């Protein structure tokens, strides 16, 4: 690997770790101290509008149904999410966010918005496209190897 490639690898790894760390510390400073990052990502996957089913959310998060079930138990207990049994097919559970869950969702969205804005600041439209192309490359590599 070229020195530049090595540098980019190191920066990717550093950025990767620092994102989690910052997300974690932002939570602890907020009114949502009782949530872990994983729980926030679960809230994100439940989403605002569509009443996704348990299986759909589990798939989106790439965890087993059992894992999701446990974490939904916790989110319900903490007042962020709710279960709604479908009337069409009573095996199916639709997941939704409570008012508090939706608040959390919006806070996390805004964090992401800020992050991406800083990522792209000083870059013109053409340069942004290039970054997007690199991300597409990486996504292609990841899909190919799955």
Binding site for DNA (CB under 7 A): 36-39, 53-55, 61-74, 83, 88-94
Helix axes 99-120, 3-29, angle to 10 degrees: 150
Could you tell me the smallest distance in angstroms from the CB atom of residue 7 to DNA? 26
Query: Of DNA, its own copies, none, which one does residue 7 interact with (CB within 5 to 8 Å by kind)?
Result: its own copies
According to CB under 8 A, which residues from 57 to 96 bind its own copies? Answer: 62
Task: Please give the backbone phi and psi of residue 88, each rounded to the nearest 5 degrees, phi first.
Answer: -65, -50
By CB under 8 A, tell whether 125 contacts its own copies: yes
* Beta strands 93-97 and 81-85, pairing class: antiparallel
Q: Are 67 and 57 in contact (CB under 8 A)?
A: no
Could you tell me the smallest distance in angstroms from the CB atom of residue 138 to DNA? 22
Could you tell me the smallest distance in angstroms from the CB atom of residue 72 to its own copies? 19
Closer to its own copies at the Cβ: 76 or 107?
Answer: 107
d(CA 105, CA 30): 13
């Amino acid at each position: 690997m070229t020195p530049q490639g090595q540098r980019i690898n190191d920066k990717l790894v550093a950025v990767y770790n620092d994102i989690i760390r910052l997300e974690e510390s932002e939570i602890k400073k907020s009114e949502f101290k009782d949530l872990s990052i994983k729980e926030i990502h679960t809230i994100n996957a439940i989403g605002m509008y569509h009443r996704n089913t348990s299986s759909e959310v589990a798939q989106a998060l790439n965890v087993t149904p059992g894992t999701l079930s446990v974490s939904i138990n916790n989110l319900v207990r903490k007042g962020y999410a709710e279960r709604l049994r479908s009337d069409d097919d009573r095996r199916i559970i639709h997941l939704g966010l409570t008012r508090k869950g939706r608040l959390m969702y919006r806070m996390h969205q805004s964090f992401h918005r800020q992050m991406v804005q800083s990522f792209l600041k000083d870059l013109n439209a053409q340069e942004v496209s290039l970054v997007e192309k690199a991300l597409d490359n990486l996504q292609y590599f990841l899909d190919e190897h799955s």
